[in-house]
Every structure is written in C-alpha cells, then in structure tokens.
Chain A
Amino acid sequence: ETGVTQTPRHLVMGMTNKKSLKCEQHLGHNAMYWYKQSAKKPLELMFVYNFKEQTENNSVPSRFSPECPNSSHLFLHLHTLQPEDSALYLCASSQDRVNRGPLILFGSGTRLTVV
C-alpha cells in the first residue's frame, strides 16, 4: 500500500458514456500525476498538477479532462472515449525535494476498457 488510492479498480464504459476516475493521497505530497499505460508501450505522462495548478498537459485529447480540487484529490473525467483509450490509468503523487528530484509513488491503477 503506497498511500495513493485509486477508484474504481476496473471500469468498462461505452463510447458515449461519461465517467470519472478518482485518486487521493494523504501523504502531504504537493504534486499529483496521471499516467497512461498501454500494452507494449512505456508509461506515458498525461497531466501534472503542482499545488493544484496544472503544470503539464502532454498533448492529451480533450476527451480526457483532469480536475484537481485540492492537493489531496485528483480526478480524470472521461467522455466519448475510443476503444484505443483502453489502458491502465495510473495516478501518482510526489513531494518535490530540492536537488533530489521527485520521488513518485503510484496507485494501483484503474483498468479501463472502452467498448
């Protein structure tokens, strides 16, 4: 248990559905991330929030919409997804440390299947 909790663990949705993924951490970390993991590809960084402000959006399609209401919670809102969006979506958090780089801890992920 890393202290980063994601729900749901599994999600099956149709292409016309709207759903949300939730992530929370009570580690006191100031940064939170969404990563996408597809088969046979490296982990892809999607979004970064630092002190609730979005600092990175890696050319992610607008059908993925992140929300960070506070430093402990992060959401990923999904709408009109495509089958190729099926993947493991991982949330992570970190506490920035001067001169040491972030130590990123991951949740268990949400396995998303788009049908």
Chain B
Amino acid sequence: GQQLNQSPQSMFIQEGEDVSMNCTSSSIFNTWLWYKQDPGEGPVLLIALYKAGELTSNGRLTAQFGITRKDSFLNISASIPSDVGIYFCAGPNSGGGADGLTFGKGTHLIIQP
C-alpha cells in the first residue's frame, strides 16, 4: 500500500520560531492535505493542495505541493503556544474517489517556554 514518511517525528522549539516539516511518498499523489490534531480531538484540516508546485497559505501556515508530486512541506511562521499538537500529512488512497486517505505518522510540535 501507499506510505507517507513524515519528518521530523518531533520538534522542540521556542515560541516565536519558524517551523518546517515535510512529507514524502514513494508514489505520486494528486492531492496533499495537512491536518493538525490537538490532544483528545480529531484531526482538523489546515490546508489542501491540488496542483504540483502549488503554494497555499492559511494565516501563519504555508504549504507547498512538490513538483514531483511525491512530497509536500508545511511551514509555520512565528510559532505561538496554540500551535502545539500533531501535524499529519495525508493523501487520497490509490482507488481514488471516496476511498479514504493514507496518513503519515505525524510530526509532534512542542513549544518550550
């Protein structure tokens, strides 16, 4: 099956720092999604990317769809305490349509005071 590799697994940063994380795949995706999950909650969709090379922002978050269609990155600028959580990348399963998503293992973001 498809697999998504996220890195880093965890990040320990100071408030105010910029954050960068990425996701790679051995197969091509036609859509990349980035989610954030707070403790005890379900993942919340942050950004959706649909075209190779596409760069999309949502407030302090920016994500890019890699040219090869096998990778994507997510940047967070000027991190704040509420950015703490787990960030997941995801892509549609190979069957297409309503076949669900494959998720990466997540990047844990921890902000040190």
Shortest Cβ gap from A1 to chain B (Å): 10
Interface 0/1 of B45-61, CB less than 8 Å to A: 10010100000000000
Whether A45 contacts B41 by the Cβ 8 Å rule is: no
Whether B101 contacts A104 by the Cβ 8 Å rule is: yes
The one of B45, B50, B100, B104 in contact with A48, judged by C-beta atoms closer than 8 angstroms, is: B100
Whether B31 contacts A109 by the Cβ 8 Å rule is: no
Across-interface contacts of A107 in B (CB, < 8 A) = 42
The one of B50, B91, B100 in contact with A45, judged by C-beta atoms closer than 8 angstroms, is: B100
Across-interface contacts of A40 in B (CB, < 8 A) = 105
Whether B43 contacts A106 by the Cβ 8 Å rule is: yes
Whether B93 contacts A96 by the Cβ 8 Å rule is: no
| A11 touches B (CB below 8 Å) | no
Chain A residues touching B, range: 20 to 34
Across-interface contacts of B99 in A (CB, < 8 A) = 48, 55-56, 102
Whether B42 contacts A106 by the Cβ 8 Å rule is: yes
A-B contact count (CB 8 A): 76
8 A Cβ contacts from A41-60 to B? 41-43, 45, 48, 50, 55-56
> Residue of A at shortest CB range from B101?
A104
Interface 0/1 of B71-113, CB less than 8 Å to A: 0000000000000000010111101111111111110000000
Shortest Cβ gap from B29 to chain A (Å): 8
| A7 touches B (CB below 8 Å) | no
| A86 touches B (CB below 8 Å) | no
The one of A31, A43, A108, A111 in contact with B103, judged by C-beta atoms closer than 8 angstroms, is: A43
Q: Contacts A30-B98, A45-B100, A56-B99: A101 and B40 contacting too (C-beta < 8 A)?
A: no
12 sampled A-B residue pairs with Cβ under 8 A = A6-B42, A42-B4, A43-B43, A43-B88, A48-B98, A48-B100, A55-B98, A55-B99, A56-B95, A100-B50, A108-B42, A109-B40
